[in-house]
Amino acid sequence: MGGGWSYSKAGVDLDRVKRAHKLIEELIESTYNFRRGLFGEVLKGAGHYAALIDIGGGRALALHADGVGTKVLIAQLMDKYDTVGIDCVAMNVNDLICVGAEPIALIDYLALERSDEELVAEVVKGLRRGAEMAGIAIIGGETAVMPDVIKGAVEGKGFDLAGLSIGVVETSKVITGGSIKAGDLVVGVRSSGIHSNGLTLARRVLLEHAKLTVNSYVEELKCTVGEELLKPTLIYVKPVLELLKKGVEIHGLAHITGGSFTKLMRLPPRGLGFKLDSLPKPHPIFKVIQRLGGVSSWEMYRTFNMGVGFCIIAPEQSVDEVLRVFRSFGFECQVIGSVIDRPRVEVVVEGEVLVYS
């Protein structure tokens, strides 16, 4: 690691998080029996991008809950709240589509340090914009004022934002990754930047270690640090739904978030993995973080999306249509790798092979 920064050093130990997730999964899976044989029986639970419950008639509800993480702290420092709502929607619906579900609704939860009508109005403005982009309805929510619990980066402006999302899918068309085969290709779709993961490491490096502020202009970024970090997460719903509607053969879908490309390993059958040897050039923000923080390439490609926000795993004959549809919706995309018969992710960066298992 060369003494440089890492996600663990910044306060987020992904190995410990992974162990905690395993414990949580074991505990909650014991509750599935409570609905066995009844309406709402669990078809797919923890461990994938979204959980699935049977609602009869050959259909299932997909459910997912997520928030925007410490990106809310950047919003507070910038005193700008009209985009994090887009992130909240994106972090939910982009996971729902990974099981082939059409997102239909979201309920938000906004916790505040103090009652602030202007802040709330700006956050909701972003939620509405995100809902429009995803084609969903926001059907309710909860706003809680908890000054003893919520403390932010700016006194009186602390808040947290999360949502519960719902989608629907025919049980015969659920995508889990179980049909992935060696030789399938991986299409990577461009991100807008850092999205909503890895902000803890980014803040530690940029604002604490490098002593920049959110208003510092960085020539490589062509904008301020705060403007770059607040760029909203892209929403990939419409092109994915278009592909599914057309019946294009797709074997796996992956939202690249925390843990970066290691997330791909939740998809394929045992014994398979991925070799990503044609990744696009990372956004400048990642190069800035790596340089200023002395972060290793291995750590960068384990923590950040590095320019790829979504992946589609498909047989070779489907790839041209996948590329055409995404590009028709204005997304940049390209083939970034393939499925291999080794149970790991290999990321090739400037001739170096970074291995994640």
User: For 312-348, what is each residue's pLDDT tens digit?
Assistant: 999 999 999 999 999 999 999 999 999 999 999 999 9
Instruction: Classify each residue of 301-319 as buried b or exposed e, where b means 16 or more C-beta atoms within 10 Å of its C-beta.
Output: bbbbbbbbbbbbbbbeebb
Among 148, 173, 198, which residue terminates a domain?
A: 173
Q: Burial, 255: exposed, middle or buried (Cβ in 10 Å; 0-12, 13-18, 19+)?
A: buried
pLDDT in the model for residue 1: 38
Q: Measured between alpha carbons, how far is 5 from 292 in angstroms, rounded to an integer?
A: 9
Q: Let me know if residue 16 belongs to a domain.
A: no
Domain assignment present for residue 101? The answer is yes
- Do residue 270 and residue 235 come from a single domain? yes
111 part of a folded domain: yes
Within this chain, do residues 189 and 167 fall inside the same structural domain, yes or no? no
Residue 127 has pLDDT above 90, yes or no: yes
In this structure, the answer to whether residues 271 and 163 fall within a common structural domain is no
Identify the band that residue 2 occupies on the pLDDT scale cut at 50, 70 and 90.
very low
Residue range 175-199: mean pLDDT, rounded:
97
156-183 pLDDT, tens digit per residue, is 999 999 999 999 999 999 999 999 999 9
Model pTM above 0.75: yes
- Domain count across the chain: 2
**Same-domain pairing of 122 and 214:** no
Does 198 lie in the same domain as 76? Answer: no
Say whether pLDDT at 25 is over 80.
no
**Torsion angle, CA of 70/63/232/220, rounded to 10 degrees?**
70
Residue 57 shares a structural domain with residue 88:
yes
CA distance 109 to 337: 38
Tell me the residue ranges of DSSP E strands in 36-147. Answer: 42-44, 51-56, 59-67, 102-112, 137-145
Whether 9 is covered by a domain: the verdict is no
**Averaged confidence pLDDT in the chain:** 94
Q: What is the pLDDT of residues 200-236, one digit of tens each?
A: 999 999 999 999 999 999 999 999 999 999 999 999 9
Angstrom distance (rounded) from CA 188 to CA 169 = 24
Residue 153: domain span: 31-173
Please name every residue paired with 108 in a beta bridge, in sequence order, or none if there are none: 141, 163
Do 169 and 280 lie in a common domain?
Answer: no
Q: Is residue 229 domain-resident?
A: yes
Task: Name every residue whose Cβ is closer than 8 Å to that of residue 20 and which is 6 or more positions away in sequence.
Answer: none
Radius of gyration of the chain (CA): 20
Does residue 5 fall inside a structural domain?
Answer: no
Name the pLDDT band for 30 (thresholds 50, 70, 90).
Answer: confident
